[in-house]
């Protein structure tokens, strides 16, 4: 939503800035002359903020290009790319078999890790135990081999992509989750779990790993025996992760291709990390 409201504003602002400070047209390079026009991206609300940031950077480098990023869900990304309503679709999952006619370009990966407080003696939880904890069938750490204390279940607000991915992996209906605390962003989750020895929560793996290695008293639990780390998301072994994709109907050309290449390049890695995603392996 943010992108839909702010992108046009930003484009206008950037356009006026760029026009006022760039050199006269004849001084512009030839390649920049060729890349003119408008690019429309629609789809996943997880990818949209990332794509919007990348688009800002791209527009700053190419004065003749306008990029419009609209969110509306992964399925809209697929549909719009297919029908040609959008030049590029944004999809926050692997493509299904019946969607393989589209070209896919992974720009980043998203993973989530289960976190508990450092003071909690628990070393691991099975998937079944996590489901039972989140659906209130287990409500004391004693039942999973910890100390005798009630479990504080930290959940994300409805609509968040981390909640979507969590529920999808553990096959829980979000309606059945019985939370004690509902949080918004990852940072709030980390603070909540860091301040409560009996809390369990989940956050984007990038923010979780950063906090755990920077003096926040939380630890990341392994999932299915695999340690939760950015490295394991990058090499594809960590189970709770998904690719963030750009999709196109045909092999991308011109501006479309240039933008997709840009979104997969080293130049945008900082933006990817800022949004707690994991850069796709090059």
Which of residues 35 and 122 has its CB atom nearest to another protein in the complex? 122
2 binds another protein (CB under 8 A): yes
Which of residues 72 and 111 has its CB atom nearest to another protein in the complex? 72
Binding mask 10-49 for another protein (x = CB under 8 A): -----------------------------------x----
Which of residues 49 and 243 has its CB atom nearest to another protein in the complex? 49
Looking at the DSSP bridge assignments, the partners of residue 114 are 202, 221
Q: Give me the DSSP letters along 36-73.
A: -EEEEEEE-TTHHHHHHHHHHHHHHH-TTEEEEEEE--
192 binds another protein (CB under 8 A): yes
| Tokens at 105, concatenated | 């370009």
Q: Give me the DSSP letters along 149-182.
A: -B-EEEEEPTT-HHHHHHHHHHT--GGG---SEE
Binds another protein (CB under 8 A): choice among 25, 84, 121, 184: 184
In whole angstroms, the minimum distance from the beta carbon of 71 to another protein comes to 6
Phi, psi angles (nearest 5°) of residue 187: -60, -40
CA distance 187 to 214: 13
The residue range among 7-15, 90-98, 172-180, 229-237 that interacts with another protein, by the rule CB under 8 A, is: 172-180
Binds another protein (CB under 8 A): choice among 56, 82, 169, 191: 191
Binds another protein (CB under 8 A): choice among 7, 42, 71, 207: 71
How is residue 282 annotated by DSSP? -
Length of the chain: 282
Q: Would you say the C-alpha torsion 129, 240, 182, 42 has a positive or negative sign?
A: negative
| Tokens at 4, concatenated | 């839909």
List the interface residues with another protein, window 149-168 (CB under 8 A). 149-150, 152, 157-161
Please give the size of the binding site for another protein, defined by CB under 8 A. Answer: 29
Residues at the interface with another protein (CB under 8 A): 1-2, 45, 71-73, 149-150, 152, 157-161, 174-175, 179-184, 188, 191-192, 195-196, 198-199
């Amino acid at each position: 939503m943010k992108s839909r409201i702010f992108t046009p504003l930003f484009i206008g602002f950037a356009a006026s800035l760029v026009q006022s400070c760039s050199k006269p047209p004849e001084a512009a390079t030839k390649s920049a002359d060729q890349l003119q026009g408008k690019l429309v991206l629609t789809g996943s609300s997880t990818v949209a903020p990332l794509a919007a940031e990348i688009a800002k950077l791209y527009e700053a480098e190419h004065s003749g290009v306008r990029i419009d990023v609209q969110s509306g869900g992964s399925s809209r990304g697929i549909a719009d790319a297919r029908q040609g309503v959008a030049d590029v679709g944004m999809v926050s999952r692997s493509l299904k078999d019946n969607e393989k006619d589209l070209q896919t370009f992974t720009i980043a990966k998203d993973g989530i890790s289960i976190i508990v407080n450092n003071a909690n003696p628990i070393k691991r939880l099975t998937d079944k135990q996590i489901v039972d904890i989140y659906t209130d069938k287990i409500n004391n750490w004693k039942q999973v081999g910890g100390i005798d204390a009630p479990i504080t279940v930290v959940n994300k607000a409805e609509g968040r992509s981390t909640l979507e991915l969590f529920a999808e992996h553990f096959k829980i209906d979000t309606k059945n989750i019985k939370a004690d605390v509902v949080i918004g962003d990852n940072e709030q989750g980390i603070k909540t779990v860091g301040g409560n020895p009996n809390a369990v929560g989940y956050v984007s793996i990038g923010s979780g790993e950063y906090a755990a290695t920077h003096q926040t008293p939380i630890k990341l639990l392994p999932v299915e025996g695999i340690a939760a780390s950015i490295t394991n998301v990058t090499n594809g072994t960590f189970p709770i992760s998904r690719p963030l994709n750009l999709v196109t109907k045909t092999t991308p050309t011109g501006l479309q291709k240039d933008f997709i290449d840009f979104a997969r390049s080293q130049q945008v890695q900082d933006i990817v990390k800022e949004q707690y995603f994991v850069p796709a392996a090059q």
